[in-house]
Structure 1
């Protein structure tokens, strides 16, 4: 669930950057039209909120997680995560004795390939 929030926030940032770059390119070929101040403020506020939510989501999740935290982060049941590990699904983890640790960044890369 947190991964989806992260990607939603990242998508908002990317859209804002694309719109900004597109407007810079289009400025060469078009007449500039000013948005009403209240609309401009509303758009800026929405983008800032999306960025802040994305930041909050990523900082609320520790860099290294237990098996239970990792399963919750991935949005799967702990039994599913156990099955993936047992079946050799290339889930990135470190095992120290009987303790498993999962790196958040590695889990994001893993899920991007699924």
Structure 2
């Protein structure tokens, strides 16, 4: 195995650090958006993404007691209630 070394001046190191930071921040924000981690009340689609399940599975879990909120025909799921239900359901 060959070792490769790069010599960077202070400005290049700063630019590289900023680029890596920006890349990581963008990826973390995308994951948060994709998983709706910052939201308490989730749509059906967000709930399926959060749980990594299909919509059919979500429907079955609702039949088995997974709590959902319906206000004027709009369905939402409370992420905290989901976590509690999963904890109790798996005990």
- TM category (shorter chain) comes to 0.5 to 0.7
Between Structure 1 and Structure 2, which shows a larger proportion of helix residues?
Answer: 1
Other-structure match for 2:68: 93
* Cα deviation, residue 66, structure 1: 0.4
3-state secondary structure, aligned to 1:70: helix
In the superposition, the TM-score normalised over structure 2's length comes to: 0.52
CA–CA separation in structure 1 for the residues paired with 2:53 and 2:37: 18
CA–CA separation in structure 2 for the residues paired with 1:91 and 1:111: 8
Is contact 2:69-2:77 (8 Å) kept? yes
CA–CA separation in structure 2 for the residues paired with 1:59 and 1:68: 10
**Residues 57-66 or 75-84, more deviating:** 57-66
| Structure 2 residues without counterparts, runs of 5 or longer | 1-27
3-state secondary structure, aligned to 2:61: helix
What's the Cα RMSD here?
A: 2.4
Other-structure match for 1:64: 41
Change (3 A) 1:59 1:68: closer
Q: Runs (4+) of structure 1 moved beyond 3 Å?
A: 56-61
CA–CA separation in structure 2 for the residues paired with 1:98 and 1:91: 18
CA–CA separation in structure 2 for the residues paired with 1:95 and 1:61: 21
Aligned length: 58
* Cα deviation, residue 96, structure 1: 1.5
Query: Which structure: larger Rg?
Result: 2
* Cα deviation, residue 107, structure 1: 0.6
1:109 corresponds, among 68, 84, 88, to 84
